[in-house]
């Protein structure tokens, strides 16, 4: 375990252990980027969590029944619902890089906001689930 403090401490590639470098190298190769972003540098303070999180993310975000842009928009919707500023910033950028236009982004924002509104109303009114939705 490195001496670096966890939390706000970020591990740069030059200072990383071989174990961490291997993950960073895979992120860079998979994404075609020259450096990993801050999230991964921060997570590198706990190498097992870094490795596991990256393996899961790589698998989950790969093209499948849903295309990568749709997956990024879903990721952004959840991040906005959670109020995570870092996540909103990074996944807005990622969704745009995968093709999200201004118009798509605007509609995505409208859906997120509308869902938040009706979520609260349904909770506040304690609406019973309709038989056909069971």
Please report whether residue 68 would count as binding its own copies according to CB under 8 A: no
User: Which residues from 13-32 bind its own copies, rule CB under 8 A?
Assistant: none
Question: Read out DSSP for 70-81?
Answer: HHHHHHHHHHHH
5-21 exposure pattern, b = at least 16 Cβ within 10 A, e = fewer: eeeeeebeeeebeeebe
Please report whether residue 38 would count as binding its own copies according to CB under 8 A: yes
Beta carbons of 7 and 22 less than 8 angstroms apart: no
Please report whether residue 113 would count as binding its own copies according to CB under 8 A: yes
Please report whether residue 83 would count as binding its own copies according to CB under 8 A: yes
- Residue placing its CB nearer to its own copies in the complex, 25 or 35: 35
- Residue placing its CB nearer to its own copies in the complex, 22 or 114: 114
Number of residues binding to its own copies, judged by CB under 8 A: 85
The structure tokens listed for 92 are 């807005």
């Amino acid at each position: 375990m490195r001496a670096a403090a966890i939390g706000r401490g970020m591990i740069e590639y030059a200072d990383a252990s071989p174990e961490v470098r291997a993950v960073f190298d895979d992120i860079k190769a998979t994404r075609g980027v020259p450096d990993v972003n801050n999230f991964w540098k921060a997570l590198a303070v706990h190498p097992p969590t870094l490795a596991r999180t990256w393996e899961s993310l790589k698998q989950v975000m790969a093209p499948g029944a849903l295309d990568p842009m749709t997956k990024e928009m879903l990721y952004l919707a959840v991040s906005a619902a959670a109020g995570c500023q870092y996540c909103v910033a990074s996944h807005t950028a990622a969704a745009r890089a995968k093709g999200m236009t201004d118009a798509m982004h605007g509609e995505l924002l409208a859906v997120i906001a509308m869902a938040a509104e009706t979520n609260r109303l349904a909770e506040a009114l304690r609406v019973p689930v309709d038989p056909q939705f069971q």
